[in-house]
C-alpha cells in the first residue's frame, strides 16, 4: 500500500462529527469546531498533568488524558509532546526495572491502605528530604531542616523512598537533564541498602 493511501486513510474523517454527531461538510465541524488533527487536551493541560504526576498528586482520570493524547498522536503519525514522552518513559522504566505494577507505574491507580491526602503529603516531604540529601546534607541535617522526627521520617523513607527517586527522575526527564556522575554516586550511596531503588536508578541513568 502506498504512503499517500495510508496517509489518506489515517487523516480521513467520518460523515458525522465524532464529538457532536452533526454532519460534516468539510474536514472540520462547523457546529462544535471539531478538527481531526486537533488534540482534545491543550499543551498547558499536558504540562500541568505531567507536573502533578511528578508531585504524586495527579488524578488517574487526568493521566488517562495524557495516554489518550499519545494514542491520538500515534494514530495521526505525529510525535507526542516531550512531556508525554518523558512521562511514559519513566513509567515504563519503573514497570520494567523498578518492580511496580503497570497501573501504578502509569499513575492510573492509588496504592491501597493509605488515605490519599496523607500519602501525597508524605511523598512530597520524602521527595524534599531526598533533594536535601542529594544537595549534600547529612541524614541528621536534613531531618533538622525539615523539622521531622527520626521516627516519622524513618517510616516515610521506608514507604516512599522509591517514589521520591521516581519523582526526581521524572523532573529530570521533563527538563531534559541527565543525572551527573557525582549525583549518581551520591544517590547510589543514599540507596545502597535498597535494591529496588538501585535497580530503578540503573534503568534511568
Task: Dump pLDDT digits (tens) for 103-153.
Answer: 888 988 764 544 454 677 778 888 889 999 999 998 888 877 877 666 667
Tell me if 188 sits within 8 A of 154, measured CB to CB: no
pLDDT value of position 117: 45
**Burial of 15 (C-beta count, 10 Å sphere; 0-12/13-18/19+):** exposed
Q: What is the pLDDT along the chain (205 residues), one digit of tens a residue?
A: 444 433 433 344 446 665 666 665 555 455 554 455 566 788 878 888 888 787 777 888 889 999 999 998 888 788 888 889 989 988 898 888 777 788 888 988 764 544 454 677 778 888 889 999 999 998 888 877 877 666 667 778 888 888 899 888 888 877 778 888 999 999 999 998 888 888 888 877 6
What's this model's pTM, rounded to 2 decimal places? 0.46
C-alpha cell at 66: 495524557
**Cα 63 from Cα 69, distance rounded (Å):** 10
Domain ranges of the chain: 1-38, 39-205
pLDDT value of position 151: 65
| Burial profile 130-143: b = 16 or more Cβ within 10 angstroms, e = fewer | bebbbeebeeeebb
Specify the DSSP class assigned to residue 176: T
Amino acid at each position: 500500500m502506498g504512503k499517500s493511501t495510508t496517509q489518506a486513510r489515517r487523516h480521513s474523517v467520518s460523515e458525522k462529527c465524532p464529538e457532536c454527531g452533526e454532519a460534516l461538510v468539510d474536514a472540520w465541524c462547523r457546529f462544535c469546531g471539531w478538527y481531526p488533527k486537533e488534540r482534545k487536551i491543550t499543551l498547558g493541560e499536558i504540562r500541568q498533568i505531567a507536573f502533578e504526576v511528578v508531585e504524586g498528586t495527579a488524578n488517574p482520570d487526568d493521566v488517562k488524558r495524557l495516554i489518550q493524547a499519545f494514542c491520538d498522536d500515534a494514530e495521526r503519525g505525529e510525535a507526542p509532546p516531550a512531556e508525554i514522552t518523558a512521562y511514559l518513559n519513566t513509567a515504563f522504566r519503573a514497570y520494567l526495572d523498578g518492580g511496580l505494577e503497570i497501573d501504578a507505574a502509569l499513575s492510573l491507580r492509588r496504592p491501597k491502605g493509605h488515605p490519599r491526602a496523607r500519602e501525597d503529603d508524605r511523598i512530597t516531604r520524602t521527595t524534599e528530604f531526598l533533594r536535601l540529601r542529594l544537595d549534600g546534607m547529612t541524614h541528621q541535617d536534613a531531618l533538622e531542616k525539615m523539622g521531622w522526627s527520626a521516627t516519622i521520617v524513618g517510616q516515610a523513607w521506608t514507604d516512599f523512598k522509591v517514589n521520591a527517586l521516581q519523582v526526581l527522575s521524572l523532573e529530570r526527564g521533563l527538563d531534559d537533564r541527565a543525572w551527573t556522575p557525582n549525583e549518581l554516586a551520591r544517590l547510589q550511596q543514599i540507596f545502597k541498602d535498597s535494591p529496588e531503588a538501585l535497580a530503578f536508578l540503573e534503568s534511568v541513568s
